[in-house]
Each structure stands twice: as C-alpha cells, then as structure tokens.
Structure 1
Amino acid sequence: MKIENSINSPDRLILKRIILMIVNIITIIVIGILFDRVLESIIFIISYEPIRSYAGGYDAGNNLNCYIFSLAVTIIAMISIKYIPSSNYIILFLVIISSFIVLLSPVEDINNFSNKEKAKKYKIISKMMCILELAIVLMLLILKVNNIALTISISLFILSIMILFGKVQ
C-alpha cells in the first residue's frame, strides 16, 4: 500500500489556490474600505480577474510576488477610480483602447498553455469576455451609472497594460 504524503499533491494545490483566492478577495475588499470604494473594489475584482485568467499577461513569478503585485494593482485601480473624472469621453477612451489591446491576448506563457488548442480557446473566451464588458460599459453609460462604467473601463485598461507587459516579458 502506497501512502501519498506529497506537499504538492493535487488536493493540497487546490486547497492552496482556494486559500490564496480568498485572501486576495478579502484584501481587495479591505482596500476598497480604505479608499471608501467598496462597491468599486468588488466590481473591479469581478471585471478584472475572470478575463485576466484567460487573457494572461505579466507573470510576477511566485505566489508572494503575485500577491504583492495584485495589491499594488488594486491600489492603483482604487486611486484611479477615485481621481479620474467619470466623463463619458474618458470612459470610452479607456475602454476602446483597452479592447484593442485585449485582441492581442492571450499572452502565451509556458505556464499557461500546454497546446495550441488551449491557447485558441483562451483567445476566444478572453475576446468574448472583453466584448461583454464593453457592452456593459456602454449600457452603464446610457443608464448614467458612470462610476461603475469607469471601474470596469479601468479594470480593462489595467488588464491591457498587463497584456503588454506580458508580451515583452
């Protein structure tokens, strides 16, 4: 009888990822509280993380660097949301420029793509998510919910910067 006592067993890796995700979400909400932008921090994580997982981009290396980098990105996002005027022109500019850059995704990384089929699938998913977020931003602008439209457009803009950094990495 073989006893598996591996630190890197699949169950442990899944548990580790879940714990890291929970810590990341709590941290983002705390940052939202500190900036008096809780709703925006939640909208940011909802609009940024799913598409980021498919689009790829800059890779900070290990879990600690990734956490610190995520923390910095979230703080930059909250400062941007707080101080960038939520005019239709600024929001449209950010979302349109970002959407064109997302067309470059996914950033192919040896850690993310084991084959061309997976890369193709991720490319389609990231583009569909981008189009969905673009449509949501346009709908929010029509409904005059500019603070949420700005949040989504900033998340797409930050994502586009991560994609560009990933391309040169």
Structure 2
Amino acid sequence: MDMIRTLIGPDNGDANAAQLCVRALILFAIGIAYIRIAGRRTFALATPLDIVVALVVGSNLSRAMTGKAPFWPALAATLLLVVLHRVLAMLALRWDWLAKLVKAEPVVLVRDGKEDRRAMFRHGIGDDDLLEALRLEQVERPDEVRLGTLENSGNISVVRRKADAA
C-alpha cells in the first residue's frame, strides 16, 4: 500500500507532476470503466438524472485528481453514484412512476401547426429557440409541423405535416 501511496501522492493537494500523471492514468481507466457501468445514454441523451450524475462524477474525479479529496474514498463514492444511476435507470424501465420521478417527460410544443405558448413559456422555450429547432429539421414555420415535442433529452423533435394533396 505504501508503494501505491508513493505513486499517487498525498491527498492534501501536494502531489507532484509525476504523481498527478499516475492519478490521471488511473482516473482515465476508472472513468472509462464507470462510463461502461453507467451505460452509454448517461453521456449521450441527457435527462436531468443523467446530467446530475455526469456533473457529480466529473467533480469527484477532478477532486480525486488534484488531491482535494482522498483518492480511494472519492473513487468509491463515485462508483456508488454510477451504480445507483444504473440501478435507477433499470428500475425506471419497470416502473413508470419512478421514470416520471427521475426523468423528464416529453412536452408537446406544437400540434397541427399551433404553438402551445403556455408549454413553451413553462419550459423556457422562446420563439427563436423553436424556430431554430424547426430549421434544424428543414422546416421553416410552425404551421408546417404536425407535432413538435420537447424531448426528455432537451432536444426538440419535429414531425412534418403531410403535404396537401392537390
């Protein structure tokens, strides 16, 4: 154990450059393992739960890196959070009430060309935000949209109206 302590340095922030490099290598490998445990969606389609876990994991790993937190206890706490996230995600697949608690629900912003101003206001989506999302989907105006939804990930998905048969 003394050899490991010599390699990673003290937990008081006084680690030298070589010790920080060893910490970086260990944290890189552990970070990859933690992401694999948490699952891809943790850092891809971000729900509020995913964002919180990502922030805390990054913060914990940063503190472990710089010696602002004890190295092994910080890694253990981070692993606990990652496993808890994974368990909650798996349980949310089984129980809808839990899914609603830990994830956001999709919100309809546009239906049949009509914007839902109350929903937009409630979720902080301005006209410019909506128009940007429409343009990203090659749609110019809300009246061309059958369904525009603010998804759990924070993205706005768009289903075009069918072209009128002439």
TM-score class, shorter-chain normalisation, is 0.3 to 0.5
TM-score under structure 1 normalisation?
0.37
Q: Which of the pair is proportionally richer in strand?
A: 2
Larger relative contact order (CA 8 Å, sep ≥ 6): 1
